[in-house]
Structure 1
């Protein structure tokens, strides 16, 4: 028998055994393993079993999906810009009734959605850091449900969040507290207020976290801590609420800072950090602080809210809403994020930290550069920063 004939025969045997194993499932693999050991074809047997296992995992992962309709309400926080602004539109396009929470009903995002969708998206004023605002929003949802008894609260999407970029020592108490109040306590407050309705309608809680919840990055220590805390909270809440028929999951949407307003207050935040420095900190950080923030200055919000341009984002988001038996975590990530974050998990600490530095590509701290005075930074304008970029 020639080499080609042997290759074709082996290929046929592999395909035939794969077909049998996948069709017979776990029992097929057990029989195949027994046969392989008896016939001393260990390599071929292990190959077939590995491919079969992967196939079964994939098949089982293809979850049955729920059909959206207008009688299912999806309530989304933080819709003034960025992710909330985008997924509110996508959810209504899918066929859901959407209650969109806006910090201000006169914000650019609120006006833009009103212009495009009119009354198709129900807009509510919602500041999740304010208990009275949360209670008013919940009252609005309850009133709508009482007037439309065939509707149900299908899902809430905890999206509202703020991010302050800067090394931990630079952050003022106000900037730290703001991230804790919005990202963490606000999410807790809003979800807690809606728990009775979620139980009643057997809804689901979708909380937007971040890749920073898996690997907190330098410059985002507090932000990452809030997102990691949300992941831990979701783990506990998922088990608590499961017995009531409420599903809890997290959604990592990926990076889209240039299409969002999450860094909209960064320039003011930088000024607050600078103004709070002690004389020793001014002397120590000096040029590094300036270069660090000039580097970040290109992350500017668009002049008006825009819908995020990322088809993969919406595909993953759809699964958070439609999978009948949802996963614990849904993640949208490009190849670069996937590579680095996988390496972060499996690398020893020294390599992991080096990879983080390569991933962030932030300006390097050079002690010898600290020769500028406080007045030098005070004279920097927004135009100067833009010019340097």
Structure 2
């Protein structure tokens, strides 16, 4: 009995060390080597480190098997009126997929531009993901399409549609908060739920666009970040639920392209709505700060016309979500600055983390000795 217990204990120690080495990578292996030399278990430790090193080399050096895009694979992308959706629809079509792009309005500039550029090569449908009837019409359209093309498959649903309001949480009206929750979160839930039976039938993949705000929520984007973090958490549970049906659940986190997107296109109207709903106390308290804050944001302009984002690395990452035969759970595209900041956001003590986030955002400072109420009256002129 004691021999069996000793064998089990040794096996557990080896498995635990393997887990430590794999989880911590090079740093973990260095710690194990030091421990092995100190405890005179050099041979066992070298074996563990050798197996771990070989596993890491195999994992990171092997090329993933790729699928081949073709017209019989159908990809649906929501929110194609502008920005990311407008860009991803075009790129997926160029890859060779049959693309069904959804638009909040078929009269939008983005819809008309894609029709001008691609004609019928990109199929366009109207879809409001907050409207159950609109969602049902989209489902019926797709069911009809597959009944006419039985050899086609539903390859991917890309949940991209979303809205963002920039402003401190206290400033945001109930309508603005509700809009972000209904579009970003509840709308995505409703749409996905309606398409689940088709995803199961075709063993497709669900790609949900999240945000770096889901990894570290940022001041001024607390509501938006909360909805994106909720989507990431939802994907974690949904991934396990749908795996047994052959459906792949993927989170796609794109990088910084705010100035090439129209996600801030209604920011001036949102600022005016926040200002108009301030109480007298809020007018007094925030006056100069609110004005300086939004003057600063006014420099983050949206393009006057829908335009395709110019970032090849973004498209390469998106292609991987569609074409990796065994896709990862999360795909991130980020500039080096984001990688550095988010590394420190994740591993720093909270006090340092909050300081780094403040430096990362570079928003105007709040000053308690704000000017009088009269100065605030200029906000309409400054932001319109």
Which TM-score tier does this pair reach, normalised by the shorter chain? Answer: 0.7 to 0.9
The alignment partner of 1:191 has SS state of helix
**Equivalent position of 1:280 in the other structure:** 281
2:166 and 2:44 map into 1 onto residues whose CA distance is 54
- CA 1:253/1:375 → structure 2, altered by over 3 Å: closer, same or farther? closer
- CA 1:41/1:371 → structure 2, altered by over 3 Å: closer, same or farther? farther
Does structure 1 retain, via aligned residues, the 8 Å contact 2:317–2:332? yes
Does structure 2 retain, via aligned residues, the 8 Å contact 1:69–1:97? yes
The alignment partner of 2:381 has SS state of coil
Per-residue CA deviations over 1:192-215 (Å, capped at 9, x if unaligned) read: 000011110000000000001110
1:314 and 1:213 map into 2 onto residues whose CA distance is 21
1:247 aligns with 2:248: yes
The alignment partner of 2:364 has SS state of coil
2:78 and 2:303 map into 1 onto residues whose CA distance is 20
- CA 1:52/1:371 → structure 2, altered by over 3 Å: closer, same or farther? farther
**Equivalent position of 1:224 in the other structure:** 225
1:342 aligns with 2:329: no
**Equivalent position of 1:319 in the other structure:** 320
Per-residue CA deviations over 1:213-241 (Å, capped at 9, x if unaligned) read: 11000000000000000001111111111
**Equivalent position of 1:14 in the other structure:** none
1:335 and 1:100 map into 2 onto residues whose CA distance is 31
1:55 aligns with 2:45: no
2:375 and 2:270 map into 1 onto residues whose CA distance is 17
TM-score normalised to the size of structure 1? 0.85
2:175 and 2:383 map into 1 onto residues whose CA distance is 23
- RMSD between aligned alpha carbons? 2.3
- CA 1:128/1:51 → structure 2, altered by over 3 Å: closer, same or farther? same
Q: CA deviation at 1:64?
A: 1.0
**Equivalent position of 1:19 in the other structure:** none
1:237 and 1:229 map into 2 onto residues whose CA distance is 12
The alignment partner of 2:377 has SS state of helix
2:193 and 2:297 map into 1 onto residues whose CA distance is 36
Does structure 2 retain, via aligned residues, the 8 Å contact 1:208–1:250? yes
Q: How many aligned residue pairs are there?
A: 349
The alignment partner of 1:352 has SS state of helix
Q: How does 1:281-300 map to 2 (within 5 A)?
A: 281-300=282-301
Does structure 1 retain, via aligned residues, the 8 Å contact 2:294–2:383? no
- CA 1:167/1:382 → structure 2, altered by over 3 Å: closer, same or farther? closer
2:380 and 2:272 map into 1 onto residues whose CA distance is 12
1:44 and 1:240 map into 2 onto residues whose CA distance is 39
* Structure 1 segments of 4+ aligned residues over 6 angstroms from their partners: 36-50
